[in-house]
Every structure is written in structure tokens, then in C-alpha cells.
């Protein structure tokens, strides 16, 4: 018995990708970020669906993830690795034709020595101070690197989800300063950057969360639905407590449903006595502590308890749940555990 069923709507992913693509002009190519197993939704399935619809550029965090995407897609698509060429990754990068986004002079040296002539890109730091070469380093190695024909030069915005943040323009200017005049495809924007407007689009965009139905892409179609099966239902008399540490006490005679899934499945313990599950559109409050594999829910008001209660559904999307948990939609999605049965609709 699985802890629940995670329904993933591949057609919604594709519709979101197309909607993000439509926000940029014809000269801008829309790629797709499928790192962290496509934000927990299944990199192979998502990448195949997008590739069939014409997506040709994919992005992952680490070389191992690139291998998974290559296996799903075969040749003919570009797979970029944000962490670049790390020690130990030479074989996988070389054998599978991945494109490491070189982040430092050390990585440039490693790549050119280990895999001369192999494709690569360059990642520049425009102020986020996380990955990429800074202006001084870039100036030092640019002549050598440009001679070897990078496939793409990119940077990443730190505050793109806040359109009015001055950091956006600062990074845009730094990116221009470091890349203007180079005869190379450029990429600056993820989902948030796409929404900032045409100045931020350059040649290639790299949306992730917007495709998966998350903010800041408000127009996104929801992608994930998560249903948790009811294991047991019981009557709890007024004055009795429910769950670890007796944190919830029934004020009236109540009916409590126990559903299968807990914090080991990515449903954070911070949801205890705060989250809501849904019975075909009717809200049912979580009562007591979320435990490792189980959640207790007050279903007193239901005339009939369904076989499963939803925690992600049209009434409560990933960002709604994130708000209750005190985090962001990205973390809700990427925390969804391995114990769920994943059911795909759309695609093949
Ligand atoms: C994760 C990531 C993206 C995608 O970001 P979203 O906000 O999910 O669209 C793009 N570029 C880089 C470098 C990333 O790390």
C-alpha cells in the first residue's frame, strides 16, 4: 500500500511551458529546467513530454541528473549542467555529451585538459555570489575560453521574484557589461526573469517552477494533485486527545480519519494542527501532530468519509500549502517523497 497517489498532469506542464514561451519573442528560445527530478515530478517523463513538443535545451544541477535526462531523451537535445565540470564528472560529461556550465578558472582548466574540444558553456556571477566567474576572472580567461567556442553564456538572478527589486537591474547591467559584443547565445532568466520583461530574455530562457505550476508564475496551471488514502476512521469523545504529545483535544464528540503519509513523505511537521485536507472540495482540518507516516484529520462534518483526502488539489495548490508550512512551493514539490505512487496523465 503506497502512502498516497501523486497525480502529475504532463499536459499542464506543457501548457505552462508554452505559456512561458509565448511571453518571449520569436528570437528567444525557451529551455526547461529539470533538476531535482523535475522538482520531484519525474525528470524522464517531463523531459520526454517537452522534447516531443519541441524543447531542445534542458538544464540540470548535477552531471548524474544529466545522465538520467540523456537516457530518457537520447541524442539531439542539449543538456546543460549548472554545477559545471566537477572533479570525477569527466567520464559522464564526455560519454554523454553533457554541456557543463564552467563556473571557475579551475573548472575551465579541468575541462580543457580532460576533454579538449568537448562542448561547454560558461556561468558568470553578476552579484548573487553563488556560482559562476566574477568579472575579473572572466576577463582573465575570456580570450582562451572564447577561442574554444562556448555554446552558451549564462548568469542567474537573485531577486527576480520581486519585480521592483533594484538587484534585477544591477545584475542585468553587470551581465551586459560582461557579455556585450560576444557572438554567443546568452541566458539570464528563469521563471521570475521571464516575467520581468523583454530586456531580461536574451537568447535562451530557463524556466523551472513556472512549468510545474508554482509562483511567481501566477497564470500557471496546477500540475500536481496529491491524494492520501484513509487508513482508519474513529470516533473520539469530547475531552480525548489525538496524536503525539496530546497536542489536540476534541472539544466535541468528533470523527477522526487517519491518512497514510507523513513528514517522511515531505509533509512537514510544521503542518501539524495547521494544514487542511480536502474531501471532494470540502475542507477538513489536520488535528494534532503530523507523524512520520500518518496524519490525523477532523472529518466530523462529512456525511461520508471518502477513501482518500487531498492535500494538493485545485482548492489548495503548492503555494497555498507552502504558506501554511512556512516555506516556498519549490520546497513542497521537491520534498514529495519516494513512497507515493506517481500517476501521469497526458504524454505517453
Ligand atoms: C533552478 C534554476 C533555474 C530555474 O528557476 P525557476 O525559478 O524554478 O524557474 C534556472 N537557472 C538556474 C541557474 C537555477 O538554479
5: left (phi over 0), alpha (psi -120 to 50) or beta: beta
210 CA from centroid of ligand 1 (Å)? 10
pLDDT of residue 100: 98
User: Atom 10 in ligand 1: which residue has the minimum CA distance?
Assistant: 190
pLDDT of residue 1: 63
In the Cβ-directed half-sphere of 190, how many Cα atoms lie within 13 Å? Answer: 23
209 lines ligand 1 (CB under 6 A): yes
pLDDT digits (tens), the chain, 348 positions: 678 999 999 999 999 999 999 999 999 999 999 999 999 999 999 999 999 999 999 999 999 999 999 999 999 999 999 999 999 999 999 999 999 999 999 999 999 999 999 999 999 999 999 999 999 999 999 999 999 999 999 999 999 999 999 999 999 999 999 999 999 999 999 999 999 999 999 999 999 999 999 999 999 999 999 999 999 999 999 999 999 999 999 999 999 999 999 999 999 999 999 999 999 999 999 999 999 999 999 999 999 999 999 999 999 999 999 999 999 999 999 999 999 999 999 875
User: Atom 12 in ligand 1: which residue has the minimum CA distance?
Assistant: 156
238 CA from centroid of ligand 1 (Å)? 49
CA angle, residues 68, 61, 95, in degrees to nearest 5: 45
Local structure of residue 286 (DSSP, 8 states): B
194: left (phi over 0), alpha (psi -120 to 50) or beta: alpha
- Phi, psi (5° rounding) for residue 93? -65, -45
Residues in the annotated binding site for substrate: 130, 292
pLDDT of residue 348: 57
241 CA from centroid of ligand 1 (Å)? 44
157 lines ligand 1 (CB under 6 A): no
pLDDT of residue 2: 78
Rounded to the nearest 10°, the torsion over CA 141, 142, 147, 153 is 120
Where do the DSSP E strands lie in 196-330? Answer: 204-205, 224-236, 241-242, 248-249, 254-260, 276-279, 282-285, 294-298, 308-312
In the Cβ-directed half-sphere of 185, how many Cα atoms lie within 13 Å? Answer: 17
Contact by Cβ (8 Å): 9, 223: yes
Calpha distance 10→200 (Å, rounded): 27
Contact by Cβ (8 Å): 274, 293: no
Calpha distance 106→50 (Å, rounded): 34
Which one of 152, 190, 200 would you pick to mutate in the ligand 1 pocket, going by the greatest count of ligand atoms within 8 A of its CB? 190
83 CA from centroid of ligand 1 (Å)? 12
Task: Confirm whether pTM is higher than 0.95.
Answer: yes
Q: Which residues pair with 294 in a beta bridge?
A: 260
Atom of ligand 1 nearest to the CA of 156: 13
Helix axes of 105-114 and 135-147: crossing angle, nearest 10 degrees:
20
Is 35 one of the annotated active-site residues of the chain? yes
Give the H/E segment covering residue 102. strand 99-102
Domains of the chain, earliest start first: 10-212 (3.20.20.10), 224-345 (2.40.37.10)
Residues 6+ apart with CB under 8 A from 176: none
5-9 vs 224-236, strand pairing mode: antiparallel
Amino acid at each position: 500500500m503506497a502512502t498516497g497517489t501523486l497525480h502529475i498532469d504532463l499536459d499542464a506542464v506543457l501548457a505552462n511551458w508554452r505559456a512561458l514561451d509565448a511571453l518571449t519573442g520569436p528570437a528567444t528560445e525557451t529551455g526547461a529546467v529539470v533538476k531535482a527530478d523535475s522538482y520531484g515530478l519525474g525528470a524522464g517523463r517531463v523531459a520526454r513530454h517537452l522534447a516531443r513538443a519541441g524543447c531542445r535545451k534542458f538544464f540540470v544541477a548535477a552531471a548524474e541528473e544529466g545522465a538520467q535526462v540523456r537516457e530518457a531523451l537520447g541524442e539531439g537535445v542539449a543538456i546543460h549542467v549548472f554545477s559545471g565540470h566537477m572533479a570525477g564528472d569527466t567520464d559522464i560529461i564526455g560519454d554523454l555529451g553533457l554541456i557543463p556550465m564552467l563556473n571557475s578558472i579551475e573548472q575551465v582548466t579541468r575541462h580543457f585538459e580532460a576533454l579538449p574540444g568537448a562542448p561547454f558553456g560558461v556561468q558568470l556571477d553578476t552579484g548573487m555570489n553563488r556560482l559562476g566567474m566574477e568579472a575579473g576572472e572572466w576577463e582573465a580567461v575570456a580570450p582562451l575560453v572564447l577561442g574554444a567556442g562556448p555554446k552558451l553564456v549564462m548568469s542567474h538572478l537573485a531577486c527576480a521574484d520581486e519585480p521592483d527589486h533594484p538587484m534585477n537591474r544591477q545584475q542585468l547591467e553587470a551581465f551586459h557589461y560582461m557579455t556585450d559584443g560576444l557572438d554567443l547565445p546568452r541566458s539570464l532568466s528563469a521563471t521570475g526573469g521571464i516575467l520581468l520583461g523583454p530586456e531580461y530574455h536574451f537568447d535562451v530562457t530557463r524556466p523551472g517552477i513556472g512549468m510545474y505550476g508554482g509562483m511567481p508564475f501566477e497564470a500557471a496551471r496546477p500540475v500536481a494533485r496529491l491524494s492520501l488514502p484513509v487508513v482508519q476512521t474513529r470516533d473520539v469523545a469530547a475531552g480525548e486527545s489525538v496524536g503525539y504529545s496530546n497536542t489536540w483535544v476534541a472539544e466535541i464528540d468528533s470523527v477522526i480519519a487517519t491518512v497514510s503519509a507523513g513528514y517522511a513523505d515531505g509533509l512537514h511537521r510544521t503542518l501539524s494542527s495547521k494544514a487542511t485536507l480536502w474531501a471532494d472540495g470540502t475542507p477538513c482540518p489536520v488535528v494534532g501532530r503530523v507523524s512520520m507516516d500518518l496524519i490525523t484529520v477532523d472529518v466530523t462534518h462529512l456525511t461520508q468519509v471518502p477513501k482518500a483526502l487531498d492535500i494538493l488539489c485545485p482548492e489548495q495548490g503548492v503555494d497555498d500549502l507552502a504558506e501554511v508550512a512556512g516555506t516556498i512551493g519549490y520546497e513542497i514539490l521537491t520534498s514529495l517523497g519516494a513512497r507515493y505512487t506517481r500517476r501521469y496523465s497526458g504524454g505517453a
